[in-house]
């Protein structure tokens, strides 16, 4: 990879970003953070690479970092803006509205945790989400309590609204279970390697098998514009609570232990030995579920229909937990070629190259980061984006507004 171009070392100061064209092969940016220069972007012959490399000024060496999170597809041009020393905002040129904002985390809490697991430098991508997408719903409870039955009914009644996070598991498929639909049935060795590679949001050993939620499983649902439902055990719920994925946590209890045993036996999917193991674990789960303070809501699944109605209410279907999408964002549609950015506090002003408008403000887009939450390895939510002229009083110009 050779040495860093001299201008990188000589001219750039902390926080500076430089854009350089690789003889029409593509555009890359270099952002200085401490003793490191983060180079983002792909030349046209580099599509197979991760698009991120780091020049360490102390060792005079290039480092190829371990890249976590859902990665963007290789893009040609972009803006890069350093945000508070721990992440770089990337605005893709000429991109669709829902895919134009990305964050490359370089020194967040998540990165520092992951740094302990990997021997190379770690960075992680997080896609920016305009507005507050509805929080995922985590449903836990002992085996046989009826979680799957409740979720199936919800998904059947509201197929456009909810999407199931398809977990990975090392357990064997039951009769009628389909790979990729009910679970991703996976060899233990493969799953363990994927966990090491940082592909999982959470994982746990449950009833003697490995279960886990991949970052991709949650992203697929969000990409389909649906609200994600996770059916995971209490250990997994704890891990999700400790992650940056903001969710609503619901614990489902049986009316009695005897009824739980009856349902588990009546389902007829486990051997006697497995039933005994699941019942032993159920005692522990019920204790943790009731007392840990981990869960936002408890449901008792006694009469199925009334439990289902309560789940619908908790899922916002009576408006109780509904979050409203933010204003004007959905009207933007497409962000044309991006030309330059200026930063003022938590607002980034982006000038679009196309569209010869009467007023300068009509070519300007404001990206407001004041309410962002979440982050890698999941999405960064709470962005707001609007035409600059929407925020400018009648008659004034962008420059007047800025000063």
User: Which residues are part of the catalytic machinery?
Assistant: 174, 267, 278
Q: Cα–Cα distance between 345 and 241 in angstroms, integer?
A: 30
Rank residues 213 and 243 by Cβ distance to ligand LQESDW3C and give the closer one. 213
Strand-pair partners of 125: 104
Return left, alpha or beta for 363; rule: phi > 0 is left, psi -120 to 50 is alpha, else beta.
alpha
Residue 212 touches which member of ligand LQESDW3C, ligand ATP, none, C-beta under 5-8 Å by kind: ligand LQESDW3C
65 versus 144: smaller Cβ distance to ligand ATP: 144
37-45, 47-55, 186-194, 210-218 -> range binding ligand LQESDW3C (CB under 6 A): 210-218
Q: Is 181 in the site for ligand ATP (CB under 6 A)?
A: no
**What is the number of helices (H) and of strands (E) in the chain?**
10, 26
Segment 304 to 333, residues that bind ligand ATP, using CB under 6 A: 304
User: Which of 66, 260, 65, 225 is CA-nearest to residue 144?
Assistant: 260
Q: What does the H/E/C string look like for 293-333?
A: CCCCEEEECCCHHHHHHHHHHHCCCCCCCCCCCCCCHHHCC
Q: Do 190 and 178 form a contact (C-beta atoms < 8 A)?
A: no
Using CB under 6 A as the binding rule, the residues of this chain from 128 to 157 that contact ligand LQESDW3C are 143
Applying CB under 6 A, the span of 2-10, 182-190, 192-200, 261-269 interacting with ligand ATP comes to 261-269
Strand order in the sheet with 137-140: 162-164, 227-231, 137-140, 248-253, 297-300
In the shown chain, the binding pattern of residues 126 to 145 toward ligand ATP, with x for contact by CB under 6 A and - for none, equals ---------------x-xxx
| Binding span for ligand ATP by CB under 6 A among 166-174, 259-267, 320-328, 390-398 | 259-267
Q: Residue 145: name its binding partner from ligand ATP, ligand LQESDW3C, none (Cβ under 5 to 8 Å by kind).
A: ligand ATP
Q: Is 83 in the site for ligand LQESDW3C (CB under 6 A)?
A: no
Residues that bind ligand ATP (CB under 6 A): 141, 143-149, 263, 266-267, 301, 304
């Amino acid at each position: 990879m050779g040495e860093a171009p001299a201008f990188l070392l000589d001219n750039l100061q902390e926080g500076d970003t430089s854009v350089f064209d690789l003889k029409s092969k593509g555009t890359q940016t270099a952002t200085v953070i401490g003793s490191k220069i983060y180079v983002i972007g792909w030349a046209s012959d580099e599509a197979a690479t991760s698009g991120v490399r780091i020049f360490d000024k102390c060792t005079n060496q290039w480092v190829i970092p371990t890249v976590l999170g859902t990665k963007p597809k290789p893009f040609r041009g972009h803006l890069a803006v350093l945000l508070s020393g721990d992440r770089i905002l990337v605005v893709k040129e000429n991109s669709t509205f829902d895919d134009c904002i990305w964050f490359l985390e370089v020194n967040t809490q998540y990165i520092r945790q992951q740094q302990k697991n990997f021997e190379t430098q770690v960075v992680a991508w997080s896609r920016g989400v305009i507005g507050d997408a509805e929080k995922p719903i985590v449903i836990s409870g002992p085996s046989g309590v009826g979680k799957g039955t409740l979720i199936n009914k919800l998904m059947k009644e509201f197929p456009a609204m909810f999407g199931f996070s398809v977990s990975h598991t090392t357990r064997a498929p039951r009769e009628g279970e389909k790979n990729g639909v009910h679970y991703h049935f996976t060899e233990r060795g493969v799953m363990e390697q994927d966990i090491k590679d940082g592909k999982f949001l959470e994982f746990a050993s449950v009833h003697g098998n490995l279960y886990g939620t991949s970052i991709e499983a949650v992203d697929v649902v969000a990409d389909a514009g649906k609200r994600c439902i996770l059916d995971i055990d209490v250990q997994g719920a704890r891990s999700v609570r400790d992650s940056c994925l903001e969710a609503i946590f619901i614990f489902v209890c049986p009316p009695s232990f005897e009824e739980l045993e009856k349902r588990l036996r009546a389902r007829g999917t486990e051997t006697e030995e497995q039933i005994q193991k699941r019942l032993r674990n159920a005692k522990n789960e019920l204790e943790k579920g009731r007392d840990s303070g981990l869960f936002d809501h408890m449901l008792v699944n006694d009469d199925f229909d009334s439990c289902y109605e309560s789940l619908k209410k908790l899922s916002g279907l009576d408006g109780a937990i509904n979050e409203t999408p933010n204003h004007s964002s959905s009207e933007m549609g497409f962000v044309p070629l991006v030309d330059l950015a200026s930063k003022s506090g938590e607002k980034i002003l982006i000038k679009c190259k196309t569209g010869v408008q009467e007023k300068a403000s009509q070519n300007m887009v404001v990206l407001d980061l004041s309410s962002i939450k979440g982050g890698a390895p999941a999405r960064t939510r709470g962005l707001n984006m609007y035409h600059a002229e929407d925020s400018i009083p009648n008659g004034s110009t962008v420059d007047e507004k800025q000063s």
